[in-house]
Amino acid sequence: MSKGKKIVLWSLVSVVFVLAVSAGVLLSAFRRMTGGHGSISDTFNGMRETALSPKDGFPGQDKLTIVCMGIDDSWTDGTDVAYTSKSRTDTLFMLTMDLNTKKATMLSIPRDTYAHIVGAKNNWHFKINSAYETGGPDRTVATVNELLGTDATHYLVLNIDSTKKMVDALGGVDLEVEHEMHYHDKWGHLSIDLQPGRQHLDGNNAVGFARYRHPDAGKRPTSEDGDERRMYRQHILLKAMVARAKNFANVTQAPQLVDVAMSTVRTDLTRQQLFDVAAMFKGIQPEDIRTASLPGDDFRGTDGAWLYRIKPEVAHAYADWLVKGDETASRRLVAVTVKNGTSTPGLAQYAVNQLKQLGYTDVRNGGNFMTPKVHLAQAAAPKREFARTSLLDTGVANPAAPQDIALLLGVSSPQSERCPVKPNKLGWTPPAEVTVTLGQDYAAALKASGALGADVVASPAVGNGTATSAN
The larger pLDDT score, comparing residue 219 to residue 355, is at 355
Q: Decide which of 79 and 414 is more confident.
A: 414
Residue type, 145: N
Angstrom distance (rounded) from CA 181 to CA 435: 33
pLDDT at residue number 428: 74
What per-residue confidence (pLDDT) applies to 147?
Answer: 96
Percentage of the chain beyond pLDDT 70 is 71
- Domain end (from 325, 342, 370): 325
- Integer Cα distance of 195 and 188 in angstroms: 21
Q: Which residue has the higher pLDDT, 104 or 316?
A: 316
Whether 177 is covered by a domain: the verdict is yes
Q: Which residues of 144-172 are buried (b: 16+ CB within 10 A; e: fewer)?
A: bbebbebebebbbbbbbbbbbbbbebbeb
Q: Which residue has the higher pLDDT, 157 or 454?
A: 157
Domain co-membership, 290 together with 177: yes
How confident is the model at residue 453, as a pLDDT? 63
> What are the angstrom distances between the C-alpha of 139 and each of 98, 119, 150, 297?
25, 7, 14, 24
The pLDDT score that the predictor gives to residue 387 is 93
> Do the Cβ atoms of 234 and 17 come closer than 8 Å?
no
CA-wise closest residue to 238 among 419, 104, 102:
104
Predicted pLDDT at 281? 61
Q: Is residue 470 part of a domain?
A: no
| Whether residue 93 is found in the same domain as residue 30 | yes
> How confident is the model at residue 323, as a pLDDT?
95
pLDDT tens-digit map of 109-155: 998 999 999 999 999 999 999 999 899 999 999 999 999 999 998 99
What's the pLDDT tens digit per position in 167-200? 888 889 999 998 888 888 766 567 888 899 999 9
* 401: CATH: 3.30.70.2390
With CA atoms as reference, report the closest residue to 326 among 161, 26, 105: 105
Do 321 and 337 reside in the same domain of the chain? no
Number of domains observed in the structure of the chain: 2
Decide which of 286, 304, 325 is a domain's last residue.
325
Q: Is the pLDDT of residue 39 over 50?
A: no
pLDDT per residue over 265-293, tens digit each? 788 988 778 767 766 666 566 567 788 88
Residue 8 domain-assigned? no
Same-domain status, 307 and 335? no
Residue 196 shares a structural domain with residue 82: yes
In the predicted model, what is the mean pLDDT of residues 321-337? Answer: 96
Instruction: State the pLDDT confidence band at 254, using cuts at 50, 70 and 90.
Output: low
Residues 414 and 320 both lie in one domain? no
* DSSP codes joined into one string, 80-116: --EE-TT--EEEEEEEEEETTT--EEEEE--TTBEEE
Whether 253 and 332 map to the same domain: the answer is no
What integer is the mean pLDDT of 12-18? 53
Stretch 326-330: mean pLDDT: 95
Check residue 53 and give its pLDDT: 59
Tell me: do 108 and 152 sit in the same domain.
Answer: yes
More confident of the two residues 63 and 86: 63
Residue 251: which residues within 8 A CB-CB, separation 6 or more? 25, 26, 29
Whether the CB-CB separation of 5 and 74 falls below 8 Å is answered with yes
Q: Provide Rg for the chain, Cα atoms.
A: 26
pLDDT computed for residue 225 by the predictor: 83
pLDDT of residue 218: 79
The answer to whether residue 9 sits within a structural domain is no
Residue 12 confidence (pLDDT): 40
pLDDT digit string (tens) for 194-242?
899 999 999 889 888 887 878 888 788 888 887 778 878 877 887 888 7
CATH of the domain at 250: 3.40.630.190
**Pick from 402, 398, 421, 423: nearest CA to 411:** 402
**How many Cβ atoms from other residues are within 10 Å of residue 3's Cβ?**
11
194 and 97 share a domain?
yes
Same domain, 355 and 312: no
465: left (phi over 0), alpha (psi -120 to 50) or beta: left
Q: Which of 218-222, 375-379, 445-449 ranks highest by mean pLDDT?
A: 445-449
Distance CA(456)–CA(471), nearest Å, equals 9
Asked if residue 155 and residue 106 are part of one domain, the reply reads yes
* CA 321-322-323 angle, 5° bins: 105
One domain, residues 49 and 193 = yes
In the predicted model, what is the mean pLDDT of the chain? 77
Helices (runs of H) and strands (runs of E) counted in the chain: 13, 21
Is the distance from CB of 434 to CB of 363 less than 8 angstroms? no
Integer Cα distance of 374 and 381 in angstroms: 11
The pLDDT assigned to 410 comes to: 94
Q: Residue 211 and residue 201: Cα distance in Å, rounded?
A: 14
| SS3 assignment, position 402 | helix
Amino acid at 429: T
Tell me the mean pLDDT in the region 34-49.
42
Looking at per-residue confidence, does 61 or 382 come out higher? Answer: 61
Question: What Cα–Cα distance (Å) separates residue 113 from each residue in 5, 189, 339?
Answer: 21, 26, 36
In a domain, 391, yes or no: yes
The CA distances from residue 264 to 13, 42, 211, 258, 355, in Å, are 11, 19, 18, 10, 47
Query: Is 3 within the bounds of a domain?
Result: no
Last residue within a domain, chosen from 325, 355, 386:
325
Which of 69-73, 314-318, 361-365, 432-436 bottoms out in mean pLDDT, i.e. has the lowest? 69-73
Structural domain that includes position 105 = 14-325
Q: Is residue 86 pLDDT above 90, yes or no?
A: no
73 pLDDT band, cuts 50/70/90, is low
